[in-house]
Amino acid sequence: MNSLGQSIIELLLLGFLLTAVVGLVASWIVRKVSAKVQYRVGPPFMQPFYDVIKLLGKEQTIPEEANGFVFCLAPLVALSSVILLSTMLLRIALQKEGYFAGDVIVVLYLLAMPSLALILGASASASPHASIGSAREMKLLISYELPLLLAFTIVLIKASGQIEQSQLLSLAALSGLKPIMSISGCLAFLVSILCIQAKLGLVPFDVAEAETELAGGVIIEYSGPLLAMWTLEHAMLLVALPVFVVELFLGGFDSIILGIIKYVVVVVLLILIKNTNPRMRIDQIMKFFWYYCSPILIIALVLAVVGNFLGIGWL
C-alpha cells in the first residue's frame, strides 16, 4: 500500500493534470478529424485549451429558479469522479502495482457517476430543456448499461478460465488478458465501443445535449467557469473511457507505445462512428441497445460459457 501523500500526488498528476492535457488533445483530434471528414480546415491544436481558459474567465450565471447548491456542485462531483476514475485506470496503464481505491466493480460504478452528476445538475437548473435532456441522459444510461454489463460479464467468464479467482476482480490482472482474440470477446468489444460512444454523448447518441433540438439540453443553463468544468470533464472522459476499453478487451498497455496505438485506434473508431451517423431518437436508442445489442451479447455470453466449459479458447 502506498503512503497517502504518494496517492494524492498520483491523483493530482496522473488523474488530473495528465488526463486533462491528454483529454484536451484528444478532443482536438476529434474536432480536427471531424473537420477533415467534412472538408473543413478544423481548429488549431491549442483550441480546446483556449476554450477552457476563455470559459474560466467568463461571467457565471445561475438561473433564478435553480437549486443553486446542486447546480454548482454537480460539475465538481463529475470532475472529481473522473479524476479518481482516470487515476485508477492510468495507474494500471503505467504498470503500477496494487489496488488504488477499488476493483473493477468500483470502476464500473464510477463510470456512471459523471452521467448522474450531469442529470442532477440539469434537473437542478429548472429549465424545461434541461429536464428533457436529463430524462434522455438517464434513459441513455439504462439503455447502454445492459450491453455494457453483459460485455463485462463476458470478460469475467473468459478470465475465469485463465486466472486465479482471487484476481478476477483486479483490473490490472484482467488487462493482462486479450478477450478480443475470441468470437465472444470480439463481439463484446464492438458493442462496448458503442456503449462508450453513448457514454461520451457523441453522435449518434447525443440526444441529451442535441444542440439543434434542445439547444444544449442538459448544459443549457451552464455558463462560465462551471461550463468550463463540464468541458474539462468531458475531455477527460475521452481519456478514461477508451483506456478502460483498451484495458478490458485489448490486453492493456503491455508496452506504452503499443498501448497508445491501441488507445488511438479506439478513439479513431469513435470518431468514425460519430461522423458517419445521424442522431438517433431516444426510443430508437433504447431499442438498439436492448433489442439488438443485448441479444447479440447474450449469444456471445453463451458461447463464452460453452468455450470455457469445453476449453475452447477462441469461442
Residues 60-99 that bind another protein (CB under 8 A): 60-65, 67, 69-70, 75-77, 79-84, 87, 99
* Nine cell digits for residue 304: 463464452
Task: Show Cβ contacts of residue 42 under 8 Å, excluding neighbours closer than 6 positions.
Answer: 31, 32, 33, 34, 35, 36
* Out of 25, 35, 215, 258, the residue judged to bind another protein by CB under 8 A: 215
φ and ψ of 209, to 5 deg: -95, -45
Using the contact rule CB under 8 A, the part of the chain among 31-39, 147-155, 194-202, 251-259 near another protein is 147-155
Instruction: Give the rounded distance of the alpha carbon of 11 from its chain centre.
Output: 18
Establish if 280 lies at the interface with another protein (CB under 8 A). no
Using the contact rule CB under 8 A, the part of the chain among 33-41, 121-129, 193-201, 263-271 near another protein is 121-129
Establish if 169 lies at the interface with another protein (CB under 8 A). yes
* Out of 24, 29, 120, 250, the residue judged to bind another protein by CB under 8 A: 120
Using the contact rule CB under 8 A, the part of the chain among 21-29, 43-51, 128-136, 173-181 near another protein is 128-136
Using the contact rule CB under 8 A, the part of the chain among 3-11, 239-247, 255-263, 265-273 near another protein is 3-11
Nearest partner of 269 among 76, 8, 33, judged by Cα: 33
Rounded distance between C-alpha atoms, residue 304 and residue 298, angstroms: 10
For 38, the 3-state DSSP assignment is coil
Establish if 198 lies at the interface with another protein (CB under 8 A). no
Bond from prior residue into 48 cis (ω within 30 degrees of 0): no
Number of residues that bind another protein (CB under 8 A): 86
Q: How far is the CB of 31 from another protein (least distance, A)?
A: 23
Establish if 195 lies at the interface with another protein (CB under 8 A). no
Site string for another protein, 225-254 (x = CB under 8 A): xx--x-------------------------
Task: Show Cβ contacts of residue 151 under 8 Å, excluding neighbours closer than 6 positions.
Answer: 188, 189, 191, 192, 195, 248, 297
Task: Show Cβ contacts of residue 176 under 8 Å, excluding neighbours closer than 6 positions.
Answer: 163, 251, 252, 254
Nearer to another protein, 44 or 313 (CB): 313
Establish if 106 lies at the interface with another protein (CB under 8 A). yes
